[in-house]
Amino acid sequence: MRLERGMSNSTGTSFSAACAGAGLTANAGLGAMRRSDAAGVAFGVGAARVGSVDVDAHFLSAEPNSNRWDYLIGVKVGGTDAAFWIESHPASSTSDAKVMLKKLNWLKQKIGTAGWAQLKQLTIKAQSHGHAFRWFTTGSIRIRPGSPEALLISGAGLDQPRKRVQIP
């Protein structure tokens, strides 16, 4: 398999093993993401894309009415894999913060299950590089720093909405 620059092979990584343990299938690089969403993700120096999962699509048929999270991205930072969670969602209204908290709670429940234990460990590794849970938006951002909504999402461990997400 030919790899694009800055991407490592997901085969044999702790990220791919963690995904398999959770019943998820990892794609190479950002292959699981819509192109428009992938364009909003930037990688810091020394961060290599390991793989990605379209979490939303995976759970769509089983949980069609749930507030599902969008993406999981595996990144190798400092020689170890880490799991970063990206949600592409509008931030054009303060009510979007409540929807994001529902999505985050849904995701945290998944991460707390036994089959997701390895992904939980990789998420903890991501938290050592800032927020493991990132909010990407293409529209306007109405949630302002210091607002009640901003404080709620920060308190839940979610990064503030951004037009471009930097990992790590």
- Say which amino acid occupies 111: I
Q: Report the predicted TM-score, pTM, of the whole model to 2 decimal places.
A: 0.91
Among 81, 86, 88, 74, which residue's Cα sits nearest to residue 26? 74
Segment holding 150, helix H or strand E: helix 148-155
* E strand or H helix that includes residue 165: strand 165-167
Tokens of 36: 């428009």
Reading the chain (168 residues) residue by residue, the pLDDT tens digits are: 222 333 334 444 799 999 999 999 999 999 999 999 999 999 999 999 999 999 999 999 999 999 999 999 999 998 999 999 999 999 999 999 999 999 999 999 999 999 999 999 999 999 999 999 999 998 899 999 999 999 999 999 999 999 999 999
Nearest residue to 6 via CA among 35, 45, 38: 45
- Which whole-number Å values give the CA distances from 137 to 3, 9, 66, 115, in the listed order? 28, 28, 20, 30
Tell me the two tokens of residue 16: 């791919």
Could you write out the DSSP letters of every residue in 16-69? HHHHHHTT--PEETTTTS-HHHHTTEEE-TTEEEEEEEEHHHHHTTT-TTS---
